[in-house]
Amino acid sequence: MSCANKDCPFFELQAEPDPFSKAEVHCTVSDAIQGMTFKKGDVLFLQGQSSSNVYALIAGMVKICSDAPDGWEQIVGLSGPGNLLVGLQSINDDRHVYTAIAATTVSACEINKRALLARAKEDADIALRLMGAVNAQLSNSRALVEVMGHEFASAKIASLILLMTPESQHGHCCFGLPFSRMDMANLLGLREETVCRLMADMQRSGAIHAPRGKIDVQDWKVLQAIADKHFGGRRVTKSE
C-alpha cells in the first residue's frame, strides 16, 4: 500500500532517499490499517470503549479528554501529526482510558491494535518503531507537563501556543487555533476570563494577533520571552 504520511512511525523509509525517484513508498503495516477522516467534534474513541485501534494522524489535531463522574470533560492532552499514535496510552488495556475528539478536521490511518502487536512480535523493526512511538508519546506528555508546570498564567498560555505552533514555523506565522478560550482554560487549569485577558495583553505587546479561531504569531521572540517568564509574567493564583 502506497503511503504519503511521512510522520507515521510505520512509514517505510527508503535506504537511500532519492528526491528524483518516482517509486512508491509503502507502509510497513499496510495490512492492518485503513484511512479515516473525522470532522471537528467527531469522536475517535470513547473512554471505556473497547481498545481495538490506534491512530496515526496525517493532518489535524486531536484533544485527549478524561471524563469525570459528574460529566465534566477535562482536557488532559493533545496530539497532532508526528511520530506518535493516538490511543497508544491504551495499548496494553482492553478498553480506552481516555476519550479522543477531533479538535479540527482530522485525517488519520486507523491501525488495528491486535494486528499491530502480532506484527511487533514477529518483526523486530516493527517493535522498534512501536517503541519509538511510545517515546514520542512520552516526549509529548512531558512537553505538556512542562507547560502546566509554569508558575505564571501568561507563561502557561504562551507555552501552549508555542506547543501548538506547527513545526518548522518560527518567526511570523499564522495557524488555525484548534481550541476555544474555554478549552485552553480547561487544559491549563485557569479561568476562561484569565485566558482572554492575558491573550489580550499578548496582543497589545505585539507577540500575537488572535482573531476568533486563529493565532497569528507576530513576534516569536516576545512570545518565547513570555513563555520563559522573562516578560509580562503574572503569577497564577488559586482563584484563577
Check whether 7 has a pLDDT greater than 80.
Answer: no
Q: Are 192 and 208 in contact (CB under 8 A)?
A: no
The letter for the amino acid at 137 is: Q
pTM: 0.74
Return the higher-pLDDT residue of 205 and 17: 205
Return the higher-pLDDT residue of 237 and 40: 40
Give the pLDDT of residue 171.
62
Q: Name the pLDDT band for 38 (thresholds 50, 70, 90).
A: very high
Q: Any idea where the domains of the chain sit in the sequence? A: 30-147, 149-227
Q: Name the pLDDT band for 15 (thresholds 50, 70, 90).
A: very low
Give the pLDDT of residue 196.
93
Name the percent of the chain lying above pLDDT 70.
78
Length in residues, the chain: 240
Mean predicted confidence (pLDDT) in 153-170: 81
Model confidence pLDDT, tens digit, residues 116-153: 888 888 889 888 888 888 888 888 888 888 888 888 99
Q: What's the fold here for domain 149-227?
A: Arc Repressor Mutant, subunit A (1.10.10)
Check whether 154 has a pLDDT greater than 90.
Answer: yes
Contacts of 21 (CB under 8 A, 6+ apart): 14
CATH: 3.40.50.300, 3.20.20.60, 1.10.760.10, 2.60.120.10. Which one for 30-147? 2.60.120.10
